[in-house]
Amino acid sequence: MPYLFVILSDRTLSKAKGKGVEGPVVPPPNSCDEPPHGCPTLAAFLFFAARVGLRDASITETLTMLYDASMPIPDRLNPTFVTARPAAPPRPDPREEARRRLIVALDLPSAASAARLVAQLEGNCQWLKVGLELFVAAGPAVLEPLVRRGHSVFLDLKFHDIPNTVAAAVRSAAALGVRMITVHAAGGPAMLAAAKAALDGLAAPPELLAVTVLTSMDPVQMNAVGVDLSPAAQTELLARMGLAAGLRGFVCSPREAASLRALAGPESVLVVPGIRPAGAETGDQKRIATPAEALRQGASYLVVGRPITQAPDPAEAADAILNEMAEALRATCE
Ligand code: C5P
């Protein structure tokens, strides 16, 4: 429906409202503006609209609908109208949105193998995650070519140490040009606060993510390290600790994404590993979901490693995951 209307009579106004037309009321032409003949009310409106340069085809449509053939729009006016509100921003393309939200974990043993994989994925993947395996093997130098090629890099070293050491490591990591870094929430409130404070004052700090409960942990593994809470309850406890320390980013399993989204709010960043397309090997991951399901549960980003890196054709595997993500996102983009 149009959102701008010029009201020239009470009858027109009530008819327009009955049709759901809304918008500012523009005053009628003053007495020296001689409306053309035809339907007096409609003609006066069109005459005035044309004079002030209003253009909007949908207004003409609505008026045509309201006045029908018995009150035709005078051909000779042939008015065009401008919209009163700025056009809505274009809707994001679901496939592009999927590309923006997929993080490929480069869990590989050398810089050379990482470079080969990145070359295969180039067009498809914006985000790359460098974790312990590659970082320990290749050192910080492995990051520079990725950043230089325009990739967004997630440095996933999951710091967990005394507050002073973690704060220093966070500062060093932030200087490497990466966009996300991780600390273990289980390091405690003081460690989280120190990590957060280490980024204060930086012009473009990376997103500091608190890892809640690893996706490889199940109740048996948790009990073995003295945690009696369920994965969901432990995730909530750690997330509340992170929020209290001022963090807004978390790593969590897809199983806890929905409740964490509700707890942390729509602005929080939820990075979700444990992603397995239907039929894929689970490996050591326990609390998993498909790409589509993880997005539906409220994940901001999906982290995918072996389903892409160990696939016979990594580019094809990434493409299939992006298509599944795009399909799930289509509902929200349209
Ligand atoms: O190969 P896969 O898809 O299981 O890789 C998952 C990646 O996400 C790994 O790099 C792993 O270190 C990381 N990760 C995780 N669970 C967490 C945090 C990070 O699996 N809670």
Q: Note the residue count of the chain.
A: 334
Q: For residue 158, what is the enclosing H or E element?
A: strand 152-159
Q: Any idea where the domains of the chain sit in the sequence? A: 1-88, 94-333
129 catalytic per annotation: no
* Predicted confidence (pLDDT) per residue in 170-187, tens digit: 999 999 999 999 999 999
**Spacing, Cα 273 to ligand 1 middle (Å):** 5
**Spacing, Cα 209 to ligand 1 middle (Å):** 14
Q: Give the C-alpha separation, 106 to 248, whole Å.
A: 25
Annotated catalytic residue, options 15, 19, 129, 158 = 158
**Can you spell out the DSSP letters for 198-211?**
HHTT-SSPPEEEEE
Q: 103 pairs with which residues across the strands? A: 127, 303
**SS percent in the chain: helix, strand, coil, step 5:** 45, 15, 40
Interstrand relation of 127-131 and 301-304 (parallel, antiparallel or unpaired) = unpaired
Q: Which of 65-69, 146-150, 228-232, 239-243 has the lowest mean pLDDT?
A: 65-69
Joined together, the tokens standing for residue 195 give 């990590």
| Residue of the CA atom closest to atom 20 of ligand 1 | 273
* Predicted confidence (pLDDT) per residue in 83-127, tens digit: 456 677 777 899 999 999 999 999 999 999 999 999 999 888 999
Q: Cα–Cα distances in Å, from 94 out to 100, 103, 254, 317? A: 10, 16, 20, 18
Interstrand relation of 249-251 and 152-159 (parallel, antiparallel or unpaired) = unpaired
CATH pick for 94-333 out of 1.10.10.10, 3.20.20.70, 3.40.1350.10, 3.40.710.10:
3.20.20.70
What per-residue confidence (pLDDT) applies to 33? 42
- Cβ–ligand 1 distance for 305 under 6 Å, the answer yes
**Distance from the first to the final alpha carbon of the chain:** 18
* Predicted confidence (pLDDT) per residue in 180-212, tens digit: 999 999 999 999 999 999 999 999 999 999 999
Query: Given the CA of residue 285, which atom of ligand 1 is nearest to it?
Result: 4
Query: Given the CA of residue 213, which atom of ligand 1 is nearest to it?
Result: 21
**Spacing, Cα 251 to ligand 1 middle (Å):** 10
pTM, two decimal places: 0.75
Q: 153 pairs with which residues across the strands? A: 128
Among residues 244, 293, 251, which one has the least CA distance to residue 271?
Answer: 251
